[in-house]
Amino acid sequence: MKRFAFYGRVSTEDQQDPKSSRNWQLARSRQVIEPDGEIVEEFFDIGQSRSLPWKRRPEAARLLETFRDPKRGFDAVVIGEPQRAFYGNQFGLTFPVFTHYGVGLWVPEVGGAVDPGSEAHDLVMSLYGGMSKGERMRIKTRVRAAMASQVAIEGRYLGGRPPYGYQLVNVGPHPNPSKAATGQQLRRLAPDPIAAPVVLRIFEEYADGRGLHLIASGLNQDGIPSPSAHDPGRNRHRTGGHGQWAKSAIRAILNNPRYTGYEIWNKQRKDEVLLDVDDVGLGHITKQRWNDEGDWIWSAEPTHEALVTRELFDAAQAKFTKRGPTTRAPQQGRHYLLSGLLHCGVCGRRMQGQWNHGRAYYRCKFTDDYPGGNLEHPKSIYIKEEALLPGLDAWLGSLFDDEHLDDTCAVLAGASEPDREAEKRQAQLQRAIANCDRKIRNYRQLLDDEDSVALGAQWIAETQRERKTLELQLGEHIPGGELTAKEVRALVDALRDIVSVLVAADPEDKSELYAQLGVSLSYDPTGNVTVRAEPCGVTVRVGGGT
């Protein structure tokens, strides 16, 4: 009997039940391979977009990795719906890997195995990839058109976190009948009795000539909670301000037209950009970007109670326009090797890179961003990058020298965790062996019947061979489990070679290596730097800070 691995995919748990999706894709796959095939292993991606290439989908990537093992437990892969598996030109980029390792691909659309030498099969599979891409694009177009009309014509609130100063209230059954049947309500913005007056105060003070720094300082001195502190449950991503107002929060409020009572949509968009322009096969990543104000969609009429007048809002925008843009274009040739890795030891925020006198520095100006707060923080914490790198590189190198190598291996081995997929595979093999034992017991009962002796003996021999194969697979190391001492040593030896060339490395390569090693630094104005490269850490002292 031919052994198959099943591959399937479902986009999101919210839009479709993963269990039901897996079941029908699995049933369709079995129809293709019956009666001479059986599925012995499953690979099912949940929550992965079809636009992601196979190497960036966890289960698809794991499937491709198993091709390298000549002792894999299957001969071919069956896919219940190619449109879910292949998008655009993905079939043309992926099927050669199947062919290279001698793994067959079976799909319902060709009635069985895809023939690598068949131009018709290649055309059919490429067609379904194009249909998959077209379907996704049509869905995006329909959804965006529907959302634009719902805002412009109906003034409907489309979801998301309500702006500071508002809360959500139910205004009746949802207009979608299927959603209304489940009890979902149509929602609208309504003034928050605590935060709404603060929004009005911010606009009035700004109109009177107070700057962002003075407004934030006044709010902090009066003990008014910031947006993240006012509603921490919906602002879990805001942790760096210690519940205090920042200038950026004041600016965001002054720039939000929703406070005029109109519903606004399409302020931002999601663009798909190539992950690597030199390797198109890696696919795209999504980046969120601001749209021009002329592309924003406004409701035709006010949809909720305004917190400020349109005149007051326009006056604030005029002041911003008069002051001009505050951002500067990034300078070429400037590398911050510790960007995103260095934190302030007082407030815990990431320190910002600053180029000064042709060199990279990092600073934390908490009191400038959060004026009038109650946290005891120096006015400015400042550290030169080149003061940190020698000590950091020396410490990383010391982890892999002869004196500390055994300790590093022990730490890495202790930090490794068993892979749940590997445990699942082991459990499947053990159940399959137990099933073989059950079959052998049943077949032996046939030996009591003279007419069934030959047939029973044949079945027993076949099942014993199957059991022997399963035992061999169970006895082998399954990739993804806990690291053995030998594997840890090989990993450390590879890292040892990499760390040895840190000092002379290209800046971009060096920065990437720091990130891959899990380096994290915390700088204290006393001159102490806590350095961590997961899963171990150490505290050292460096100079150069103020």
- Residue 345, classed as helix, strand or coil, is coil
Over residues 18-56, the pLDDT tens digits come to 889 999 999 999 999 988 899 999 999 998 888 999 989
Asked whether residue 110 is domain-assigned, the answer is yes
- Residue 410, classed as helix, strand or coil, is helix
Measured distance CA(410)–CA(396) in Å, rounded: 16
User: Could you tell me if 259 and 362 lie in one domain?
Assistant: no
Say whether pLDDT at 90 is over 80. yes
Asked whether residue 66 is domain-assigned, the answer is yes
User: Could you tell me if 201 and 319 lie in one domain?
Assistant: yes
Asked whether residue 492 is domain-assigned, the answer is no
User: Could you tell me if 346 and 381 lie in one domain?
Assistant: yes
Tell me, what's the pLDDT at 329?
47
**Three-state SS letters, 414-470:** HHCCCCHHHHHHHHHHHHHHHHHHHHHHHHHHHCCCHHHHHHHHHHHHHHHHHHHHH
Q: What is the CATH number of the domain that holds 196?
A: 3.90.1750.20
Tell me, what's the pLDDT at 354?
83
Six token digits for residue 495: 């890292």
Residue that finishes a domain, picked among 118, 137, 156: 137
Provide the number of structural domains found in the chain.
4
Measured distance CA(42)–CA(63) in Å, rounded: 9
User: Could you tell me if 241 and 351 lie in one domain?
Assistant: no
User: Could you tell me if 72 and 26 lie in one domain?
Assistant: yes
Asked whether residue 34 is domain-assigned, the answer is yes
Over residues 394-429, the pLDDT tens digits come to 777 777 677 766 776 666 665 555 555 666 667 777
Six token digits for residue 523: 């700088």
Measured distance CA(290)–CA(288) in Å, rounded: 7
pLDDT above 70 covers what percent of the chain?
76
Over residues 93-145, the pLDDT tens digits come to 999 999 999 999 999 999 999 999 999 999 999 999 999 889 889 988 998 99
Six token digits for residue 204: 């009035």
User: Could you tell me if 440 and 528 lie in one domain?
Assistant: no
Q: What is the CATH number of the domain that holds 108?
A: 3.40.50.1390
DSSP 176: S
The model's pTM:
0.59
What mean pLDDT is predicted for residues 175-184? 86
Asked whether residue 62 is domain-assigned, the answer is yes
User: Could you tell me if 201 and 308 lie in one domain?
Assistant: yes
User: Could you tell me if 125 and 209 lie in one domain?
Assistant: no
Between 310 and 159, name the one with better pLDDT: 310
User: Could you tell me if 11 and 131 lie in one domain?
Assistant: yes
Asked whether residue 117 is domain-assigned, the answer is yes
What is the DSSP annotation of 47-99?
Answer: S--TTS-GGGSHHHHHHHHHTT-TT-S-SEEEES-HHHH--TTHHHHHHHHHH
**Three-state SS letters, 355-382:** EECCEEEEEECHHHHCCCCCCCCCCCEE
User: Could you tell me if 16 and 97 lie in one domain?
Assistant: yes
Over residues 426-457, the pLDDT tens digits come to 777 788 788 778 777 776 665 555 555 555 66
Which range marks the domain in which residue 215 is found? 166-263+299-323
Specify the range with the lowest mean pLDDT, choosing from 13-27, 177-191, 242-256, 280-294.
13-27
Which of 409, 204, 386, 216 has its CA nearest to residue 308?
A: 204
